Structure formats: structure tokens, C-alpha cells
Amino acid sequence: MLALAGKAVELAVARIESLPGENAWDGEFQEGLERILLEKPPEEGRPAEEVLQRAVEDILPMTTRLDHPRCFGFVPSEPTWPGVVADFLASAWNVNACTWLVASGPSQVELVVLDWFRRWLGYPESSGGLLTSGGSAASIDAFVAAREAAGNPERPSVYMSDQSHGAQARAAMIVGVRQDAIRQIPTDGTFRLDMGALTRAVAEDREAGFRPMAVCANAGTSSTGAIDPLHAMADLCQAEDTWLHVDAAYGGFAAITEKGGELLSGIERADSVGLDPHKWLFQPYEVGCLLVKDARTLESAFAFRPTVLQDTVWGANHPNLDDRGLQLSRSFRALKIWMSIQTFGLSAFRRAVSKGMELARRAEEYVQESRTLELLAPASLGIVCMRVNPEGAGLEDDTLEGVNREVLARLFWDDRAFVSSTSLRGTFSLRLCIINHSTGWDDVRETLEAMERFGEAALAA
């Protein structure tokens, strides 16, 4: 184990060091991978180093390098190395963070980390929560709590913007909201939920016999980074006695910075907030988080005590974290957050998150000054959207879509960066999500220059 782990660490460090010089993407078609990987499990073992080498050569490189300084696609993520080591430790110590009896130290560390998060959001001491596998699981847990808080109504309805992540609608369906009672509310010119439309939809649904069970606000959409009008949504939910969930999976950790705190003002009024430390808190997958304003709402929805676990209810005043969500056996996710923040200090995280926002702002400025690029959505948190559309060219949207698809393909095949696209009210858009802590301005600028270059070449062709 010592030799194997030592070798694994050497290889992992070498990978991190060589990352900037590599392409941000590598992958293979399924037939190619089947050829080298599809096999029966070997009856007899082989030397562990040989197996490790195979994993490192044939499997692990076949991925988008989400931690690459030029990975701007989807929502990238660049974990800290103490976080990586923490995941190894949690496995090596074989922690099951299910109950206090089974894992008191890990449970306490999870409570410490949740207390940090609660303070960053401005949540009261009465709040509580748990770490989850990610933002999707956090939404499911949140909607279960919302459904129970609403008295498990027969015809529940849920509201979210037309920019909300699909994970929200899926979570609503999983907790029993019919697809035709999931309202996608239109958004304004900056992709923020339209309050007038939301108010009307809630009133119409009440009239039609629905029980508005939850409103889901975005604290950073994954498409453009838009932040919904959190205060106005909180006012409406208060007046309607409806649960307000904020999906802050992507944008929530901006709250650790002064500017982010201002942008996210109102988040503290939500009944629940979903966060993803495996995004903008630089943690290895998987770790998401759900915080609820009143910790009791989770336990009354989830606590379930089979007799086989009766010994775990000894003593008093210790929470069993499995009482707060859908998992009993749980990995020790808090350790990576705790070790990362203990190692670098919160100020380093603040600087890294601020840098992402600043780079997105500079990218927006670059696009505004470019004669080739057009800004399609302003920088919001760490995201900015643009397309190739040279000034005065007077091209139709269909032509522009073809050109921009070509630009995306050239970036994919001929450039080190990894960029993904989105559709903004039907307009094909290139999109940069700039949140990796090792990304510098040169990485962003050279990617924007490549967009201009590939765009001009596509137009000339």
C-alpha cells in the first residue's frame, strides 16, 4: 500500500504540474475504449503497480480536464490538493458519516463546516443541514422538506425561472410534483426571473386549486450566472406561505467575498439553500450541501429510526446526520473542506473567488472592445457569454449560428482551451465560466483571441 500510494501521489503531482501545457480535453469514442477496456474480471490478480499504470494511462486521461487553467466549459472545478488527500484519508479510515455513534469526530467536523457556510450566507443559528453528493441531491432533500412543510398537499406546484438548472425540475418531479405543475417563469433581458409573471402564475394556480409548494430562485444560473431578484421572491414567498429554495450550487460561494455578498443579498431569507463546494469552493467531487433555515424541517421530513439502528439514539443532543437527508451510509465529505480551509486560510479562497469574478469582468470588457465578438450576456459572477458577430457584417442569426458552431469546434480540436456553448432565447452563444483558481488573464485573453481568429477564418471560408 505504501509503495502504491507513493507512486499514485507522484503521478498525481506530475499531472497537476504538466496540466497547463496540455489540452483541457481528451476523450475517445466508445468503440475505442471498449477495445482496450471491455474484458471479463481477471480470476487472478496482477501487480498493483501494473494496474495503477493502466488506470493512469488508459482511463484517467480520457476526461475533460475540469481543473485545467483553460477549462471554461460547463462549470469547471479545480480542487485543492489538501482536499484530494482528505478524500484518500476518509477512505483509508473507512469513515461512514451516518450517525454520531458510528462517526462522532466526522459528524462534528461536518457541523463545523456547516456552521462556516451558515455564517457566510448570513443564516441564523437555528439553521442546519448536511453535505450531499451535489446540488441535485440537495434540491431533492430541499423539496422533500418543502413538501412536508406544506402539509404534503394533493396538488403541489413549483416555480422556477426558464433559466433554472434541469436538476430543479427533476427534483420537483422526484418528490411527486406533476410535470404539468412545474412552472417555468419567463426571465427579463438579463435572464433574471420576471416577478410579475411569477406573481401571476402563483395567483392563477391558487385559483385553479394548486397549492404552491416551493419557489426556486437562482443565485447564479449555470447559463449566464444570472441572480434572480432574491428579496422580491422572499417577499412573495412570505406573503404566500410558500417555501423559498435558492439554487446556489454554482454561485453561492461568491458570498465569501464582499462583492459576492452584496450580489447575493436576500439569500439569507430563503427557507433553504443548495451549495456545491465541488464547484466554487475548489473541492474534489463529490460534495454538495443543503442548508435549511430551520434545522427541524429537515429532521421532521427525513428522520426514520429502524430498530436495527436503535443503538444510535443514545445520549442526548447529538444530531445523526442521516436524519437530515436521503443517505444512510455517507462518505466523510466535510474533511476535504475542513483540511483545505485550515491549510490555506479563508483569505486565499476569497482571493481565488474574487479573481474569477474579476477575470469575467475583464473578459466582458475585452468582448465589448472587440470588433469581432459580440456580448450576449454581461459578466455575472464568473460567467460571460458572447458570439462571433463582426461589427457591421449584418449577418443573419442562422449564418451566425453556423459560424459560431464552427468556432466552438475549432476551439475544441485546435486549441488548448475547453469552451462550451449555451442557447440564450434561441441564440447560439459561446460561454466562458471562469472560476478555476490557477486561471490567469493570459488564459482568458488567448482564448478570446482564438475565438476571434477562428471566427474570422470561418467567415472568410
Ligand X SMILES: Cc1ncc(COP(=O)(O)O)c(C=O)c1O
Residues found near ligand X in the complex (CB under 6 A): 75, 134-136, 165, 167, 222, 247, 249-250, 276, 288
Comparison of 134 and 156: residue with beta carbon closer to ligand X: 134
**Shortest Cβ distance from residue 134 to ligand X (Å)?**
3
**Shortest Cβ distance from residue 178 to ligand X (Å)?**
21
Comparison of 271 and 276: residue with beta carbon closer to ligand X: 276
**Shortest Cβ distance from residue 75 to ligand X (Å)?**
4
Residue number with the shortest CB distance to ligand X?
Answer: 134
Comparison of 35 and 170: residue with beta carbon closer to ligand X: 170
Comparison of 289 and 403: residue with beta carbon closer to ligand X: 289
**Shortest Cβ distance from residue 243 to ligand X (Å)?**
17
Comparison of 167 and 198: residue with beta carbon closer to ligand X: 167
Q: Give the 3-state DSSP-derived string for the chain, with helices as H, strands as E and coil as C.
A: CHHHHHHHHHHHHHHHHHHHHCCCECCCCHHHHHHHHCCCCCCCCCCHHHHHHHHHHHHCCCCECCCCCCECCCCCCCCCHHHHHHHHHHHHCCCCCCCCCCCHHHHHHHHHHHHHHHHHHCCCCCCEEEEECCHHHHHHHHHHHHHHHCCCCCCEEEEEECCCCHHHHHHHHHCCCCHHHEEEECECCCCCECHHHHHHHHHHHHHCCCEEEEEEEEECCCCCCCECCHHHHHHHHHHHCCEEEEEECCCHHHHHCHHHHHHCCCHHHCCEEEECHHHHCCCCCCCEEEEECCHHHHHHHHCCCCHHHHHHHCCCCCCCHHHHCCCCCCCCCHHHHHHHHHHHCHHHHHHHHHHHHHHHHHHHHHHHHCCCEEEEEEEECCEEEEEECCCCCCCCHHHHHHHHHHHHHHHHHHCCCECEEEEECCEEEEEEECCCCCCCHHHHHHHHHHHHHHHHHHHHC
**Shortest Cβ distance from residue 449 to ligand X (Å)?**
27
**Shortest Cβ distance from residue 286 to ligand X (Å)?**
7
Comparison of 139 and 297: residue with beta carbon closer to ligand X: 139
**Shortest Cβ distance from residue 139 to ligand X (Å)?**
7
Comparison of 249 and 357: residue with beta carbon closer to ligand X: 249
Comparison of 249 and 417: residue with beta carbon closer to ligand X: 249
Q: Which of 256, 189, 247 is nearest to 222 (CA)?
A: 247
Comparison of 247 and 401: residue with beta carbon closer to ligand X: 247
**Shortest Cβ distance from residue 170 to ligand X (Å)?**
9
**Shortest Cβ distance from residue 455 to ligand X (Å)?**
27
